[in-house]
Amino acid sequence: MKRKPGIMVAGCALLVAGGWLIAGGLGVPLLPFWRVWPLVPVAIGLALVAQHTGEPGGGRGLLLLGLPVLLVGLFLLAFTLEVGGLAWADMRRFWPVFPLILGITFMMVYISGDMVEPPLLVLAYLFGGVGLAALPFTLGTIRLPVGEQVARFWPVLVGLVVLLAALGVWRLSRRVDGRQARR
């Protein structure tokens, strides 16, 4: 029988959700759903990452999808639970965390694939670099007129980064298809 750790994680998450709903129905005081909804993507991401670890070849697609869902869920959970006084209005200051999460994801996929696909490393540096470079400007650590302009036009910057990432993934898929055709 094949190991399916992702199914185990998903099953445990469903048991917890069911217990939470039953406890709420019995009048147990719980946090409202609008405060804990990011646990849904956390559970999905955790199930995908766990399934990645159980796959014989690593199932890197599971990691590519699961890790950002998990990390974004955890990041959003910090906002809904107001960890450290965070509020949704602070999201405009912390948007560089999203490209940083993508950079971490591409780096982890690169590492899990025996570090043989340089386009993944390029994407990791690109996204991670954008996130790390923008974060000091958006948090106000570095105050320059250029930083204010970047902060004002961040959607354009994010769009360009997403476009470059799509191009990188497209090139990577063509390279993988070419390798499979040669076999």
Over residues 135-179, the pLDDT tens digits come to 888 888 777 676 666 667 767 777 777 777 777 777 766 665 566
pLDDT digits (tens, 9 = 90+) for 48-86: 888 887 766 667 788 888 899 999 999 999 999 998 888
Mean pLDDT computed over 115-134: 85
Mean pLDDT computed over 19-25: 84
Tell me how long the chain is: 183
Distance CA 60, CA 52 (A): 7
- What's the CA angle centered on 175, arms 171 and 179, to 5 degrees? 170
